[in-house]
Amino acid sequence: MVKSTCLAACLLCLYSGSVQAADACEQARIDWAILNEGMPVYYTEDGSYRPNWHGDAYAGKRRYIDDDKRPALITEAEDRVFRYCDNPEDMNKLARTYDDWIQGELCEASRILLAAAEQGNSRTSRDEVEARRAAVRKDCKRR
C-alpha cells in the first residue's frame, strides 16, 4: 500500500511538473507573440503582457512598455520559449497558441458587449442582443 501511494504521488508530481512546463511554454509563446504585435503593449496588475487593441476588455491598471525596451523583452520571451518548450521552433504550435489566445480575447470582448446589451437600462434592440448572442456563440465556441 505504501509503495502504490508513493508511486501515485511520484506520478502526480511528474504530471504536475509536465503541466507546469506546458503552461510555461504556452505563456512564453503568447508573450512572444504579443510583444511582436505592431501595437502598444502593457503590463497588467499581475505582470502579464496585453496588447492595446480596439476590443481590449482589461479594466485594471496598465503600465505601458517603452518601445526601446521591447527588443530585450522579445529576446527574454524567446529564451523562455526555448527553455520551456519541447519543440520551440514549431511554427504550427506557435500559430495555434496565438490563434487560441486571439480567440480568447475575442470571446471575452463579445461577452462584455453582450452583458452591456442585456442590462436592464440598455436601449439595445432585440435584434442587436440576438446578434451579440450569436457573436458570443461564434467567438466562444472553443471555450
Residue pair 98/27 in contact (Cβ under 8 Å)? The answer is no
Tell which wins on pLDDT, 16 or 82.
Answer: 82
The amino acid at 37: E
- Integer Cα distance of 130 and 45 in angstroms: 34
pLDDT in tens, 60-109: 999 999 999 999 999 999 999 999 998 888 888 888 888 888 888 888 88
Has this prediction a pTM greater than 0.85?
A: no
Tell which wins on pLDDT, 101 or 31.
Answer: 31
Residue pair 141/112 in contact (Cβ under 8 Å)? The answer is no
Residues sharing a CB contact under 8 Å with residue 38, sequence separation 6 or more, in sequence order: none
Q: Which three cell numbers stand for residue 6?
A: 508513493
Helix boundaries (H) for 36-53: none
- Integer Cα distance of 59 and 43 in angstroms: 12
- Integer Cα distance of 139 and 134 in angstroms: 8
